[in-house]
Amino acid sequence: MPSIPLPGEKAELIDRTVAFQGYFRIARYLFRHSLYQGGQSGEVKREVFERGQAAAVLPYDPVRDEVVLIRQFRAGSYAAGRHPWDWEIVAGVIEEGETPADVARREATEEAGVTILDLVPMNSVVLSPGACSETCSSFLGRIDATGVGGIHGLEAENENILVKAMPFAEARALLDRDEVDNAVGVMALQWLALHRDEVRNRWR
Please report, for the domain that includes residue 163, its CATH number.
Answer: 3.90.79.10
Per DSSP, 73 falls in state -
Per residue in 51-66, pLDDT (tens digit) is 889 999 999 999 999 9
Clarify whether residues 141 and 155 are in a common domain: yes
Clarify whether residues 161 and 95 are in a common domain: yes
Per DSSP, 142 falls in state E
Clarify whether residues 28 and 64 are in a common domain: no
Clarify whether residues 42 and 130 are in a common domain: no
* CA separation for the pair 60, 69 (Å, rounded): 10
pLDDT band of residue 3 (cuts 50, 70, 90) is: confident
Q: Is 66 a domain residue?
A: yes
Q: Is 6 a domain residue?
A: no
Clarify whether residues 134 and 35 are in a common domain: no
Nearest to 180 by CA among 34, 82, 39: 82
How far out from the chain centre does Cα 66 lie? 20
Q: Which domain holds residue 99?
A: 54-202
* CA separation for the pair 133, 51 (Å, rounded): 7
Classify 29 in phi/psi space as left (phi over 0), alpha (psi -120 to 50) or beta. Answer: beta
Clarify whether residues 61 and 42 are in a common domain: no
Q: Is 3 a domain residue?
A: no
Clarify whether residues 102 and 38 are in a common domain: no
Per residue in 178-189, pLDDT (tens digit) is 999 999 999 999
Backbone angles phi, psi at 176, to 5 degrees: -65, -30
Q: Is 38 a domain residue?
A: yes
pTM: 0.91
Q: Is 142 a domain residue?
A: yes
Distance of CA 155 to CAs 86, 129, 162, 170, Å?
A: 20, 32, 13, 30
Clarify whether residues 98 and 157 are in a common domain: yes
Clarify whether residues 79 and 100 are in a common domain: yes
Whether the Cβ atoms of residue 152 and residue 113 lie closer than 8 Å to each other: yes
Distance of CA 72 to CAs 15, 94, 123, Å?
A: 38, 19, 23
pLDDT band of residue 203 (cuts 50, 70, 90) is: very high
Clarify whether residues 144 and 179 are in a common domain: yes
Question: Average pLDDT for residues 9-18, to the nearest whole number?
Answer: 97
Q: Is 88 a domain residue?
A: yes
Catalytic residues: 157
* CA separation for the pair 113, 151 (Å, rounded): 9
* CA separation for the pair 162, 56 (Å, rounded): 17
pLDDT for 1 equals 57
Clarify whether residues 62 and 106 are in a common domain: yes
Per residue in 115-158, pLDDT (tens digit) is 999 999 999 999 999 999 999 999 999 999 999 999 998 888 78
Question: How many domains does the chain divide into?
Answer: 2
Report the run of H or E that residue 29 belongs to, with start and end: strand 25-33
Backbone angles phi, psi at 129, to 5 degrees: -65, -20
Clarify whether residues 38 and 105 are in a common domain: no
Q: Is 1 a domain residue?
A: no
